[in-house]
Amino acid sequence: MIERAAGPALVIAGGTVHTPDGPRRVDVHISDGVITSLEERRSASPGPGVVDARGMYVLPGAIDVHVHSRDPGFPEKEDFGTLTAAAAAGGVTTVVDMPNTVPAVDAGGVLEAKAALAHSKARVDFGLWGLIRSSSTAEQLESLARAGAIGFKAYLGYAFSLGRKQILYTAETDDPDLEAPPDYGTLLRLAPVVSALGLPLVIHAEDPGILAAFRRPLDSYSAILAARPPEAEAVAISAAAAIADSVGTRLHIAHLSSALGLMAAEAALKDGSRLSLETCPQYLWLSDQDFPRVGNVMKVYPPVRTALDRAALIDAVDRGVIRIVATDHAPHTNEEKARPLELAPAGSPGVQTLYLSCLELAKRLGDMWKAPRWVSEGPAALAGVHESKGQITPGFDADLVLVDPRRGTEFRPSLMRSRQRHGALEGMRSSFSIAEVYVRGRLVAREGRKVGKAIGRMVAPR
């Protein structure tokens, strides 16, 4: 009789571990990719199966719930291989990919095909969002849920090309090829379906009517701010929360960017909304004052706003009102980003610098141990994987990051593993470095370089 080979047993020994009870000096024992126990230090001799983590912090892997792999659709920008190599290098052990790939992920069959493609290339675990179109039916959403969708994303104000099966950055619908963007009516019609499926509804929260009224030539950064006022964010949040609350739908606000949007969200939370909030490192580290230095790489939608907006968002993250920091990693080529401001597409890479930038922010706020809550615990709850990921505790996946607090990192293009090596936080320094990264007990990156094969698996909510 052939015995089934047990998965590699591993001990991460000698580090300071982020546990649900706070930082503890324990060894993490792993078998078959799962954490089996946290044990008080024994003088484990270094050897096979023992990782020497003395002097290191052992943190739960980050779950970036907002990335754009561009795969399938735009291989010149990124694909699942390069996305997840960058994720692994930065301590992100799970990515959740947005549905605006091509074909857009608007039904279960499309999601299954995308999952197979991702599985063949992914170096970290992954989940997939489904798409809500203005024409989406209950059957389509149900098929997405059966195929394992993490939830559903509605891009308010973004039209859909029927011929290209692709979301476009336009609200125009004169062209017969273009299907109207989803609107509040779409949300109201489908919220009961989403609610019955028990999954979150994510919105790109900028009110299309306000954006249409403030359209103008985008020949300066101040013109971008004037064209996308924070009221557009606040109005979309209030309206979507009212709709979601009417049937008890979990609503998630992607990339919160403004103090006004935050006020609208806090008002809804006070009224009992099942609302979760996400912001991104670019809104926590940059303001409009940085545009002359950073340039078009800083062009993202919604825009990076003022220092006052940034301060309000940092405060909300610190208070735990915003529970999720994700990246909106959205690569475009150097050539695309070098176009005149008006024509340069919105979006920039960021997955690799998520953890280090959050550790730095948490340290400056007085407690670096808060960072894993923002990038790991909070996101795990949104994605519905909080029973297997997001914490270092027995029974959970051994998704672990060894962080070295004795060596800092400067964000330089030469370190970046995305197909696009630029980033809005380029030049920034973190007081930490990422030494080793494990996905389900398997080493996937060391010192910023990928290790091993594409072992990523799809995760689905439960």
Active-site residues: which are they? Answer: 328
Dihedral, CA of residue 141, residue 147, residue 150 and residue 154, to nearest 10: -30
The least CB distance from residue 100 to Zn ion, in Å, is 8
> Which pair of structure tokens corresponds to residue 375?
């990038």
Closest CA to 296 of 218, 200, 412, 400: 218
The least CB distance from residue 276 to Zn ion, in Å, is 16
**What is the footprint of Zn ion within residues 197-256 (CB under 5 A)?**
none
The least CB distance from residue 68 to Zn ion, in Å, is 6
Q: How many residues bind Zn ion (CB under 5 A)?
A: 1
The least CB distance from residue 359 to Zn ion, in Å, is 23
C-alpha 236/C-alpha 260 separation (Å) is: 11
Closest CA to 202 of 236, 147, 155: 155
Specify the 3-state DSSP secondary structure of 126. strand
Q: 170 or 246, CB closer to Zn ion?
A: 170
The least CB distance from residue 417 to Zn ion, in Å, is 20
Helices 184-197 & 138-146, crossing angle to 10 degrees? 40
Q: Read out DSSP for 337-405?
A: HTS-TTTSPS-B--GGGHHHHHHHHHHHTT-GGGHHIIIIIHHHHHHT-TTTSSS-STTSB--EEEEET
The least CB distance from residue 302 to Zn ion, in Å, is 10
Q: Does 399 bind Zn ion (CB under 5 A)?
A: no
Shortest-Cβ-distance residue relative to Zn ion: 328
Q: 126 or 438, CB closer to Zn ion?
A: 126
C-alpha 152/C-alpha 416 separation (Å) is: 30
> Which pair of structure tokens corresponds to residue 45?
């001799």
Specify the 3-state DSSP secondary structure of 129. coil
The least CB distance from residue 408 to Zn ion, in Å, is 29
Q: 309 or 328, CB closer to Zn ion?
A: 328
The least CB distance from residue 79 to Zn ion, in Å, is 17
Using only the alpha carbons of the chain, give its radius of gyration: 21
C-alpha 70/C-alpha 68 separation (Å) is: 5
Q: What residues contact residue 322 under an 8 Å CB cut-off, 6+ apart?
A: 256, 262, 277, 278, 279, 313, 316, 374
- Are 99 and 70 in contact by the 8 Å Cβ rule? The answer is no
Sign of CA dihedral 454, 434, 309, 234: positive
DSSP state for residue 102 in the 8-state scheme: S
**What is the footprint of Zn ion within residues 315-344 (CB under 5 A)?**
328
Task: Quickly count: other Cβ atoms within 10 Å of residue 159's Cβ.
Answer: 23
Phi, psi of 34 (to 5 degrees): -120, 145
DSSP state for residue 68 in the 8-state scheme: -
Type of residue found at 74: F
Helices 184-197 & 230-247, crossing angle to 10 degrees? 50
Interface residues toward Zn ion, by CB under 5 A: 328
